[in-house]
Structure 1
Amino acid sequence: MKGKKSAQMASLYGMLIALAFVLSFVETLIPVSMGIPGMKLGLANLVTLVGLYTIGTKGTMVVAVLRILLVGFTFSNLFAVFYSLGGFGLSILIMVLCKRYKWFGTIGISIAGGVAHNIGQICVAAYVVKQAGVFYYLPMLLIAGTGAGLIIGLLGNMIIDRIGSYLRKMQ
């Protein structure tokens, strides 16, 4: 029985990585220009949120880092990988803390993660370009992170419920 459960978990990880990759690709096809370089909806963050509730923190980190590397080297460049890792690092930290200490529900955790992701990316950008002027974009990024986090949180709730019932059947 243990082998069957391991295979099921491996397939779940594979599906989450593939889904995150596909969502990232779909996002490259959406022509959204909001006047701020690199601003996106962050559809792949849906997988991060769902992962926190289904496969735990360690598994989510593995899935997200693999997705960032795959997407970065497939659709963009090394700098994009650094920006994404910086955003993800702060985002996962904040999301895990919010979940562990029950500060927010799923939607609040998603919003906190979206905002933290943008703060992490802007910090990496300031470091890379050696200019504090990039923080000029922060208010708009915080608004965007809140909106994207809300949308991702709402969608995440629905998916978490469905995957959760599947995982309970596996046990």
Structure 2
Amino acid sequence: MNIRTRRVAVYGLLIALAFVFGYIERILPIYLGAPGVKLGLANLVTILSLYVLGLWPAVWISLARILLSGFAFGGMSSILFSLAGAALSLLVMWICRRFSLFDMVGVSILGGVFHNIGQFLMAAYVVKTFGVFSYLPVLLFAGTAAGAAIGLLGGLVLKRIGNVIKNL
């Protein structure tokens, strides 16, 4: 099996895993203290992709997951908001990873926080008001907690299977 075939297979597996994680979060009604707050299990795949495969694979995997999930479970607005959050989140996580500013937990926390900021920037653009930012402190706290949980879990997974993914 050549390298390109292996790469396609790994990307496909990671996209499928992120899609399933997103679906699980959608069907399990877990209330985390405020409307719109989720753990972000699919982001586990994103941060692992970023650490093991690099920026562009993480971008393509995240983009494919957002489009698949949006068309399957949401709609154009969910795709738009997810893309805004993911773009800002991935950019910040990549910068922090590239320059070794934080460990995986810190990178993931910033990813969670900036994902929420990206979504709020899109919401402010869509509704033409910055009034939506009044709810931001709640989601920043939630993004910090969720990012810490995903970062801790990502660190554990990376220790266990990071080399397996990289060598596929």
Give the TM-score range, shorter chain: over 0.9
Q: How many angstroms does 1:167 deviate by?
A: 4.4
CA contact (8 A) 2:109 2:151 kept: yes
Aligned to 1:49: 47
Which residue does 1:86 correspond to in 2?
84
SS at match of 1:96: helix
Query: In structure 1, how many angstroms separate the alpha carbons of the residues matched to 2:160 and 2:39?
Result: 23
The TM-score with structure 1 as length reference comes to 0.92
Deviation at 1:114, TM superposition (A): 0.4
Displacement after TM superposition at 1:19 (Å): 0.2
In 2, are the aligned partners of 1:54 and 1:163 still within 8 Å (CA)?
no
Tell me what 2:99 maps to. Answer: 101
Deviations 1:11-57 (Å, cap 9, x if unpaired)?
Answer: 21111000000000000012134433x33211100010000111111
Inter-partner Cα distance in structure 2 for 1:112 and 1:17: 22
Question: Among residues 144, 147, 157, which one is paired with 1:146 in the alignment?
Answer: 144
Secondary structure of 2:95's partner?
helix
**What residue is the counterpart of 1:35 in the other structure?**
34
The aligned length equals 167
8 Å Cα contact 2:63-2:83 kept in structure 1: yes
Percent identity, aligned pairs only?
47
**CA displacement at 1:166 relative to structure 2:** 1.4
* CA spacing shift, 1:6–1:126, aligned 2, 3 Å: same
Distance 2:116 2:108 in 1: 12
1:61 maps onto 2:59 in alignment: yes
The answer for the alignment partner of 1:70 in structure 2 is 68
Structure 2 Cα separation of the partners of residues 167 and 119 of structure 1: 31
Q: Post-superposition, which runs of at least 4 consecutive aligned residues in structure 1 deviate over 4 A?
A: 167-170
- Mark the CA change 1:167 to 1:46 in structure 2 (over 3 Å): closer, same or farther: closer
Alignment partners' CA distance in 1, 2:160 and 2:77:
36
- The AA in structure 2 aligned to 1:35 is A
Cα contact 1:21–1:71 (8 A) shared by 2: yes
RMSD over equivalenced CA pairs, Å: 1.4
Q: Is the contact made by 1:98 and 1:104 (CA closer than 8 Å) also made in structure 2? A: yes
Is the 2:52–2:166 Cα contact (8 Å) retained in structure 1?
A: no
Instruction: Give the aligned residue type for 2:121.
Output: C
Structure 1 segments unaligned to the other structure (5+ residues): none
Which consecutive residues of structure 2, in runs of 5 or more, have no partner in the other structure? none
Q: More deviation in 70-79 or 5-14?
A: 5-14
- TM-score, with structure 2 as normaliser: 0.93
